[in-house]
C-alpha cells in the first residue's frame, strides 16, 4: 500500500472543485485559476502532478454509457472458499466485467458488468452461471443518488 | 429497473470526441480547441458538442476522479440498508448527499438472502472511521431502516475502467 500523499490545502480545494463541473469555456484552466486565485500554469501543473502520482485516476468528461444504450449492473456470487480463485478467474475472463472485489460476506464476490446493450447483461450472467455452476445475484441500480467524495480543505 | 429514458443517438463525430477524451482532457490552456484540431473539426465544435452531450446526459460531468486509496482512504465499506420502500427515495437522497458517501444506489432485494435495497459506499482512512460514519448514517436513517451491514472489500480481483468501444455506428 502506498503512503498517503502530502496534499496541501490548495490541492484539496482543487480536487473538490474538479469533481464538480469543469467549465466548458475556451480557457477552462484559467477560469478555475481565477476561482481559486492562482495562476493558470499552477492549476495545470498541479493536475498533471496529481495524475502522475495517481491521486487522480482520471480527469476529463465522464460518460454515461447508459444514455447511449449501454447497460451496467452490480452482481454477486456465493463462492465456496476452495473454489474462490478458479471462479474469480472465470468471472474476470469476461471483458464485460469491469471491477471485481472480494468482500467479507456470505455473498463474497461482487463485480460490475458493463455492456453496450441491456440484453448483453443477461448473456454475461447466463455465461457465468453456466461456467461456474453458481447462481448470480443481479442488483441492477434502480436509482442513483450521487454527490462525490468531499475532502476537508 | 428505473424507467430508462429513450437512449440518445450520438453520431460519429460525438463518438470520435468521446474516444479522443476517454483518457482525459489535454492539459493545455485551450484543451477543447486542441481536441478539435486533432480531429480536424472547427475550433468551437468540441466545446459545443460536449455541452450538448452534457445537456442530454451522455456526459455526467467533466471533472476528476480521485483515487480513494491514494488519498489514504484505504478502508472501503459498502454499507447496505433494508429501507422501507415508501421512504427509500427520500432516504437515498439524504444519504447520497453526505460528504463521506461516494456513491449511493437503490437496488432490488434478493430474498431471503439479501434484504438490502440501499447501497452506500463509505470511504475512510481506517475501518473504525468507516464504522463511525455508518453509525452516523444509522442515526440519520433511524427506524426507516430495519437492518444494515457493512461489506469491506478484502481484495481487488479486477479493476479496469468502463470504456466505450471506439466503433462507429
**pLDDT at residue number A4:** 55
Query: In this structure, is residue B127 part of a structural domain?
Result: yes
- Cis ω for the linkage preceding B112 (within 30 of 0): yes
Question: Which residues, numbered 134 to 153 in chain B, qualify as contacts with chain A under a Cβ-Cβ cut-off of 8 Å?
Answer: 149, 151-153
User: Per-residue pLDDT averaged across A44-72, rounded?
Assistant: 90
Contacts of residue A144, defined as CB under 8 A and 6 or more positions apart, other chains included, come to B96, B103, B104, B105, B106
Q: Are residues B102 and B33 in the same domain?
A: no
Mean pLDDT of all residues in chain A? Answer: 90
Architecture of domain A65-139: 2-Layer Sandwich (3.30)
* B120: its cell numbers: 452506500
Q: State whether B41 and B79 are in the same domain.
A: no
Contact B91, A131 (CB under 8 A): no
pLDDT, averaged across chain B: 88
**In what side-by-side order are the strands of the sheet with A97-103?**
A137-139, A71-77, A109-115, A97-103, B145-159, B75-83, B118-124, B101-106, A143-145
Instruction: Judge if B112 and B147 occupy the same domain.
Output: yes
CB-based contacts of B101, cutoff 8 Å, min separation 6: A147, B95, B120, B121, B122, B137
Torsion of the alpha carbons at A146, B162, B133 and A104, rounded to the nearest 10: 140
Neighbours of A14 (CB within 10 A): 26
Q: Is residue A75 within 8 Å of residue A45, measured between CB atoms?
A: no
Distance CA A100, CA B3 (A): 27
Q: pLDDT grade, residue B165 (50/70/90)?
A: very low
Cell digits for B29? 490552456
* Number of compact structural domains in chain B: 2
Kindly determine whether residue B151 and residue A104, on different chains, have CB atoms separated by under 8 Å. Answer: yes
CA nearest to A136, candidates A109, A98, A101, A97: A109
In B, which residues are within 8 Å of A42 by CB distance? Answer: none
Q: Is the CB of residue A89 less than 8 Å away from at least one CB of chain B?
A: no
Q: How far is B72 from chain A (nearest CA, A)?
A: 5
Contacts of A3 (CB under 8 A, 6+ apart): none
User: Rounded CA gap, A23 and A110, in Å?
Assistant: 35
* Residue B3: pLDDT over 50: no
Percent of chain B at pLDDT > 90 equals: 64
Interface touch B32/A28, C-beta < 8 Å: yes
Tens digits of residue pLDDT in B81-116:
999 999 999 999 999 999 889 889 999 999 999 999
Pick A24's closest partner by Cβ from B8, B62, B165. B62
Separation in Å, CA of B85 to nearest CA in chain A: 12
- Whether A142 and B69 lie within 8 Å, measured CB to CB: no
Q: How far away is chain A from the Cα of B80, in angstroms, using its nearest Cα? A: 12
Best residue in B63, B113, B117, B163 to probe A by mutation, most A CBs within 10 Å?
B63
Same domain, B49 and B90: no
pLDDT of B115:
98
Task: Tell me whether B8 touches chain A (CB under 8 Å).
Answer: yes
pLDDT score of B160 more than 80:
no
Q: Does residue B5 sit within a domain?
A: no
Distances (CA, A) of B142 to B41, B45, B139, B150: 55, 50, 5, 17
Structural domain contains residue B106: yes
Q: For B42-56, B127-141, B147-161, which range has the lowest pLDDT when averaged over its residues?
A: B147-161
The pLDDT score that the predictor gives to residue A5 is 64
* pLDDT bucket at A150, cuts 50 / 70 / 90: low
> Distance from B148 to chain A by nearest Cα, in Å?
13
Please tell me the number of Cα atoms within 13 Å of B74 on its side-chain side: 10
**B141: helix, strand or coil:** helix
Torsional sign, CA B68, B71, B73, B79: negative
Q: Is residue B164 part of a domain?
A: no
Q: Is the pLDDT of residue A42 over 80?
A: yes
Q: What pLDDT was estimated at residue B119?
A: 97
Of A29, A53, A118, the CB nearest to B29: A29
Range of the domain at B50: 12-55
Give the model's pLDDT for residue A153: 53
This model of the complex carries an ipTM of 0.76
Contact A63 B58 (CB under 8 A): yes
Angstrom distance (rounded) from CA A148 to CA B63: 11
Q: What does the block give as the cell for B32? A: 477543447
Chain B interface includes A1 (CB < 8 A): yes
Q: What's the pLDDT at A152?
A: 60
Q: Which three cell numbers stand for residue B154?
A: 478484502
Domain ranges in chain A are 9-52, 65-139
Question: Where residue B102 sits, what CATH number does that domain have?
Answer: 3.30.70.920
Amino acid at each position: 500500500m502506498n503512503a498517503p500523499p502530502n496534499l496541501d490545502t490548495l490541492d484539496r480545494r482543487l480536487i473538490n472543485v474538479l469533481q464538480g463541473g469543469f467549465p466548458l469555456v475556451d480557457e477552462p484552466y484559467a477560469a478555475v485559476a481565477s476561482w481559486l486565485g492562482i495562476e493558470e500554469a499552477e492549476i495545470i501543473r498541479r493536475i498533471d502532478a496529481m495524475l502522475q502520482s495517481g491521486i487522480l485516476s482520471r480527469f476529463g468528461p465522464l460518460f454515461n454509457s447508459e444514455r447511449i444504450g449501454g447497460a451496467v449492473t452490480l452482481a454477486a456470487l456465493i463462492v465456496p472458499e476452495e473454489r474462490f480463485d478458479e471462479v474469480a478467474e472465470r468471472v474476470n475472463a469476461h471483458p464485460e466485467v469491469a471491477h471485481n472485489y472480494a468482500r467479507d460476506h456470505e455473498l463474497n464476490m461482487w463485480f460490475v458488468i458493463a455492456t453496450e446493450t441491456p440484453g448483453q447483461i443477461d448473456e454475461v450472467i447466463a455465461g457465468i452461471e453456466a461456467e461456474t455452476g453458481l447462481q448470480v445475484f443481479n442488483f441492477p441500480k434502480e436509482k442513483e443518488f450521487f454527490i462525490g467524495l468531499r475532502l476537508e480543505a | 429497473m428505473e424507467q430508462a429514458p429513450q437512449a440518445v443517438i450520438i453520431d460519429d463525430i460525438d463518438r470520435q470526441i468521446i474516444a479522443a477524451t476517454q483518457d482525459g482532457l489535454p492539459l493545455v490552456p485551450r484543451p477543447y480547441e486542441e481536441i478539435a484540431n486533432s480531429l480536424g473539426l472547427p475550433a468551437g465544435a468540441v466545446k459545443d458538442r460536449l455541452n450538448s452531450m452534457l445537456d442530454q446526459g451522455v456526459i455526467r460531468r467533466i471533472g476528476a476522479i480521485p483515487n480513494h486509496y491514494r488519498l489514504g482512504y484505504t478502508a472501503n465499506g459498502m454499507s447496505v440498508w433494508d429501507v422501507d420502500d415508501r421512504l427509500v427515495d427520500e432516504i437515498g437522497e439524504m444519504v447520497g448527499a453526505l460528504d463521506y458517501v461516494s456513491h449511493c444506489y437503490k437496488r432490488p432485494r434478493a430474498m431471503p438472502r439479501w434484504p438490502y435495497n440501499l447501497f452506500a459506499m463509505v470511504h475512510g482512512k481506517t475501518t473504525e472511521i468507516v464504522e463511525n460514519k455508518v453509525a452516523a448514517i444509522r442515526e440519520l436513517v433511524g427506524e426507516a431502516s430495519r437492518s444494515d451491514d457493512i461489506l469491506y472489500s478484502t481484495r481487488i480481483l479486477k479493476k479496469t475502467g468502463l470504456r466505450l468501444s471506439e466503433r462507429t455506428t
